[in-house]
Structure formats: C-alpha cells, structure tokens
Amino acid sequence: MLKSLILLISFNFLLLATPFVTIYQLKNINLVYNIFIFVFSLFLWFLFDNSSINYQYLINFRFLGLFGLDGFSLCLVILTTFSFPFYFITLFEDKSTNKKQLFYFILIELFLILTFSSLDIFAFFIFFESTLIPMFLIIGTWGSRFRKIKAAYLFFLFTFVGSLTILFNLFYLFSQYGTINYYSLLNTQIPFYSQLIIWCCFFFTILH
C-alpha cells in the first residue's frame, strides 16, 4: 500500500509532461488526482493494525533503505495528502502559475512522504533536506515581496544550519552502534547519556 501511494504521487510528474494541456486543465487534473491520492491514503489508516507495535507496510528499496509506517508517521502521511488538494484549490486564483511551480510542489509532497516513512535515518535526513531545494526555488521565484531572494537564501541557510545537528547525530550513532537504521536501533541498548546527546541535537534542530 505504501509503495502504491509513492508510485501514485510519482505519476503526477507524468501528468505534468502531458502535451497539449493548458495550465488551467492541469490545475483541474491535479486537484482531482490529489483528492484521489488522499482517499487512497485513507486505506492505509483503515488497513492499519492497531494491535501491533511493529512498523507496517514495509518496503525495502535497494539504495534508499527500509520504509514503513507506525501510527505517528501514518498520521503525518495522511495529513500531507490531505493538505495538498487545498494548495491546488488556491491556484485557481493565481494567474502566474506554471508547470514549474506545480512540479516543485509535487516534488515537496513526494519528499515529505518519503521523509515520514523512512526507517533509515540517513535517508530521512536526505529527503528532509531535499524539501529545501524546491521551497527555496518557490520562495525566490514566486515570492510576493521585493526581498524574496534574500528571504529564500535566509530560509535555506537557517534551516540547513539547524539540520547539521541531525548530521552530527548520524555520525555519532554510526560510530557508536554501527547502524543508522531506526528499526535496528529500537532493539539496541543505548546508555542514558547517549540518549541525552541525541535528544538535545534533535531538539536543537526542531527549536531552530
């Protein structure tokens, strides 16, 4: 089910590549299609086994690591698919919309789903940071104020610098325990002081 959801979102890019389709028609198509994606994501909720404490809908991509969902990440995935149809609704009043803008937002949606479902902390870091690139381009290109370029650079800089603590965590976990797979770390005995260091780094990233 999770793999099907990722493929459905990826299929959005093929819709953008469809020739002889006006931008107004693309807005309608993407709105309907993203509503369908949201409805499809609800099946992840309905078929989720609440009695199990294990991750479900596991997928093992060869180069990207393990992906799966627990109750918390499932809520974030559904919230993501729920919010994007509203974005496409707002586009109907924006006459400056083009295919690039649609492409960037679909890319953000895909990266968010991969971020929330990743069980490899390094893959989580990569996908989380990847959302900065389309956001940077959206702010710098379609920002409504004269200082939009400066705002885009400041957004990228502060968010990226804050995320360096996650990168420190990755090196620390791998050097101490030989893995950055969250599924494996759940069954690893981590001393309290190590947990405190890891927690402080993640808290600083969120606070930043």
Report the pLDDT value the prediction gives residue 144, as an integer from 0 to 100: 67
CA distances from residue 168 to 159, 164, 180, 186 in whole angstroms, order as listed: 15, 6, 12, 19
User: Which pLDDT score is estimated for 38?
Assistant: 93
Q: With H, G, I as helix, E, B as strand and everything else as coil, classify residue 191.
A: coil
Phi and psi angles of residue 121, each rounded to the nearest 5 degrees, phi first? -65, -30
- What is residue 187's predicted lDDT score, i.e. its pLDDT? 78
How far is residue 27's CA from residue 24's CA, in Å, rounded to a whole number? 5
The distance in angstroms from the start CA to the end CA of the chain is: 34
User: CA–CA distance from 138 to each of 73, 146, 166 (Å)?
Assistant: 26, 14, 25
Distance CA 135, CA 152 (A): 8
Half-sphere exposure of residue 135: CA atoms within 13 angstroms, side-chain side = 18
Give the pLDDT confidence of 93-133 residue by residue, as tens digits. 777 777 888 888 889 999 999 999 988 888 888 888 888 88
Give the residues of the chain that fall short of pLDDT 50: none
Q: Residue ranges of the domains in the chain?
A: 1-119, 122-208
Sign of the dihedral defined by the CA atoms of residues 76, 33, 2, 116, in that order: negative
